[in-house]
Amino acid sequence: MKFASRTVTKIWEEVPAAHNPFLADRCRCHGYDLAELAKKRNFVDVLYLLFRGELPSPAQAQMLETLMICLINPGPRHPATRAAMNAGVGKTNAVHILPIALSVLGGAHLGGEEVEAGIRFIRRHQHAEAAVVAKKLLASRENSEGDCHIAPGFGSRFGEIDPVPQQMAALLYELSGRGKALQWGRDFAHSLIKEGMGWLATGVAASVFCDLGFLPQAGAGLFQLFCAPGLLAHGLELASPYTSITAMPFLDEEHYVIAQEAKKRTC
Amino acid sequence: MSLPRKQKKEPADLAFWQERHGVICSRKGGWVVGEAVYSHGYSLLDELVGKASFFQVLILNVTGRLVERNVADWLENIFVCLSWPDARIWCNQIGSLGGTMRTSPVAAVCSGVLAADSPMYGAAPLLAASQFIADALLKKNNGMTVSEIVKLQQRRPGMPPNIVGYARPVATGDERIPAMKQVSKQLGYTPGEHLTLAFEIEEYLLEYFNESMNIGGYVAGFLSDQKFNPQEIYRMCSMVVNSGVHACYVESMDNPPESFFPLRCDDIDYQGPRPRQVPFP
């Protein structure tokens, strides 16, 4: 196996300072000077540029920014947010709150891994009729406890269709930048209604990422990134020195039930 | 014309969620204040502390089974075997980078351990390697030959097969296997049916593709012989690289900030677009 002599990047160019090659005099993102970008473009444009290599059209930028707002906070009941809150209330070093919460948000259930799988799923099926794909998947569904994700990004939450992702998808669908993946996802979600399933937030994100040309792996991390503000805000709210460790419930023994077999040897 | 009646929405069946609402039920154990900390039927402080090794308790918490000491000692030696204080290795270098940027040891070590959750190295390949050897043994017991098992892993005839547990990214051969064979011998183990098959596959791969078993393949075979399933093997080895990451973190933490392997601008080979003017939106 032959390793590279230097790390290659097509993203970022650092022009060395004349007097010190360890310092950069200026930085360019895909050829654009960073300071010039800061003067002329907004954050979403530069974010898109960073990952896609070109600046977005106004319609693409609007899609991305709308998705970012939709995903900005998974809410205080989401397990990733609760991880941030547990860290906060336990007075974990504040710099750890976000990595902790993002690890939980990386999972295959309503997390980054599901977004990645969702992009692959939509890419693979968007040329087939959504209703036919849905019918086939529903026919092969296996009964299991809890929620069913019939495909990555689509399914039930707490036994029903989760209203908020449907609202997100409808909002994004009204935008001029909507693409084939969002359209296909809408048809697919519609085919699941009778089964009590629909869009999940991960599916909405996956379809927009697909339409904007992001690779599946990028979708996983971008989903984490876009949800990060809410996770951090909730964690910090409880990390405040004015908030005590008692600010979140700690279950009493009546509500922490240990199965008999876990205690049997000494009972 | 009469419009169809609006259908009354059926209330969702929330029994599954309601049963779990406001309560945590555990089959693993927990703390009963003033009584004991229970783990899988044992009192942690009365029956395990001072009597069981850390690795016995780790296996107990992962699998629910308190194994014999020699199984735990064998697992401990795998952790030793992967404790390389070499800052070139990807996960370890993350520990070094954390140290040089003055993170806490916990942040650096967790980040390094997370990096080793890779299909290329660390703990994650153990899942695929264990699944492979379990599946291969089933095939062998159903009459398949080693050659036929290997051929199933080839994308095209003549191409080297892609089998997790064989070949390595940096070197050929694996010096950790003889070390662990010695440990196995000292602890009184002889290869069981999984490990025996793993060696038979290696023999075939060496003859036809010059590829040998790596430590992941050995661990998968050995632990499968000890009746652990693939998920259990992956879970109990989650932290397997942690000690090497620690070493690398400590060394860079004990040196001036950002002094670990600093890069000059020209150490990065930029191959993107030439400088261009930013258009207004």
Mapped onto helix, strand or coil, the DSSP state of residue A53 is coil
Asked whether residue A25 falls in the same domain as residue A66, the answer is: no
User: What is the pLDDT averaged over residues A228-233?
Assistant: 98
Q: Is the pLDDT assigned to residue B2 strictly greater than 70? A: no
| pLDDT classification of B230: cutoffs 50, 70, 90 | very high
Question: ∠ CA A43-A48-A51 to the nearest 5 degrees?
Answer: 125
- The Cα–Cα gap between B32 and A206 comes to 44
Asked whether residue A104 falls in the same domain as residue A33, the answer is: no
User: What is the pLDDT averaged over residues A218-247?
Assistant: 96
Residue A258, domain member (yes or no): no
Residue A6, domain member (yes or no): no
Let me know if B7 is exposed, middle or buried by CB neighbors in 10 A (0-12, 13-18, 19+): exposed
pLDDT score for A1: 74
Residue A27, domain member (yes or no): yes
pLDDT in tens, B25-69: 999 999 999 999 999 999 999 999 999 999 999 999 999 999 999
Look at residues A59, A54, A196 and name the one whose alpha carbon lies nearest to residue B273.
A54
User: What residue ranges in chain B does DSSP mark as E strands?
Assistant: 24-26, 29-32, 36-39, 42-43, 268-270
Whether B275 sits inside 8 A of A33 (CB atoms) is yes
Whether A8 sits inside 8 A of B30 (CB atoms) is no
Chain A segment 11-70 residues within 8 A of B by beta carbon are 11-16, 21-24, 28, 30-33, 36-37, 39-42, 45, 53, 55, 58, 61
Asked whether residue A154 falls in the same domain as residue A224, the answer is: yes
**Run of H or E residues at B242:** helix B242-253
Mapped onto helix, strand or coil, the DSSP state of residue B189 is coil
Asked whether residue A190 falls in the same domain as residue A79, the answer is: yes
Asked whether residue A103 falls in the same domain as residue A219, the answer is: yes
**Run of H or E residues at B71:** helix B69-81
- The Cα–Cα gap between A86 and A250 comes to 11
Q: Are A188 and A210 in contact (CB under 8 A)?
A: no
- Own/partner contacts of B161-164, CB < 8 Å, gap of 24 or more, are B161/B205, B161/B209, B163/B132, B163/B201, B163/B205, B163/B217, B164/B119, B164/B125, B164/B128, B164/B129, B164/B132, B164/B216, B164/B217
Residue A53, domain member (yes or no): no
pLDDT score for A9: 98
**Run of H or E residues at B221:** helix B215-225
Asked whether residue A34 falls in the same domain as residue A109, the answer is: no
Chain B segment 36-65 residues within 8 A of A by beta carbon are 36, 38-43, 46-47
Residue A175, domain member (yes or no): yes
Whether A10 sits inside 8 A of B46 (CB atoms) is no
Token pair in block for residue A227: 């949800």
Question: In the predicted model, what is the mean pLDDT of chain B?
Answer: 94
Find all residues with CB under 8 Å of B125, minimum gap 6, and list them. B118, B119, B164, B165, B216
Residue A64, domain member (yes or no): yes
Residue A213, domain member (yes or no): yes
User: What residue ranges in chain A does DSSP mark as E strands?
Assistant: 7-9, 12-17, 20-29, 32-33, 154-155, 198-199, 256-258
Let me know if B101 is exposed, middle or buried by CB neighbors in 10 A (0-12, 13-18, 19+): middle
Chain A segment 202-241 residues within 8 A of B by beta carbon are none
Chain B segment 17-36 residues within 8 A of A by beta carbon are 17, 22-30, 32-33, 36
Asked whether residue A31 falls in the same domain as residue A107, the answer is: no
Asked whether residue A115 falls in the same domain as residue A231, the answer is: yes
Nearest CA in chain B to A156: B12
Q: Is the pLDDT assigned to residue A238 strictly greater than 50? A: yes
- The Cα–Cα gap between B225 and B202 comes to 17
* Domain total of chain A: 2
User: What is the pLDDT averaged over residues A37-63?
Assistant: 98
pLDDT score for A143: 83
Asked whether residue A83 falls in the same domain as residue A109, the answer is: yes
Token pair in block for residue B52: 């069981």
Chain A segment 134-173 residues within 8 A of B by beta carbon are 145-146, 158-160
In the CATH scheme, what is the homologous superfamily, with its name and number, of domain B124-236? Cytochrome P450-Terp, domain 2 (1.10.230.10)
Q: Are B278 and A41 in contact (CB under 8 A)?
A: yes
| pLDDT classification of A2: cutoffs 50, 70, 90 | confident
Q: Is the pLDDT assigned to residue A252 strictly greater than 80? A: yes
Chain A positions touching B30 (Cβ under 8 A) are 256, 258, 262
Whether B273 sits inside 8 A of A30 (CB atoms) is yes
- The Cα–Cα gap between B38 and B55 comes to 17
- The Cα–Cα gap between B17 and B25 comes to 13
pLDDT score for B8: 54
Question: Mutate which of B101, B114, B270, B276 to test chain A, going by most A C-beta atoms within 10 A?
Answer: B270
Asked whether residue A130 falls in the same domain as residue A234, the answer is: yes
By residue count, chain B amounts to 281
Look at residues B64, B32, B84, B54 and name the one whose alpha carbon lies nearest to residue B246.
B84
- The Cα–Cα gap between A168 and A202 comes to 11
Q: Quick check: B260 contacting A, CB < 8 Å?
A: no
Q: Is the pLDDT assigned to residue A267 strictly greater than 50? A: no
Asked whether residue A159 falls in the same domain as residue A223, the answer is: yes
Look at residues A163, A231, A232, A233 and name the one whose alpha carbon lies nearest to residue A193.
A163
Task: Pinpoint the residues of chain B covered by CATH 1.10.230.10.
Answer: 124-236
- The Cα–Cα gap between A30 and B16 comes to 51
Whether B271 sits inside 8 A of A8 (CB atoms) is yes
Whether B268 sits inside 8 A of A6 (CB atoms) is yes
pLDDT score for B249: 97
pLDDT score for B11: 64
| pLDDT classification of B5: cutoffs 50, 70, 90 | low
Residue A259, domain member (yes or no): no
pLDDT score for A142: 86
Asked whether residue A20 falls in the same domain as residue A100, the answer is: no
Structural domain containing residue A153: 58-139+146-239
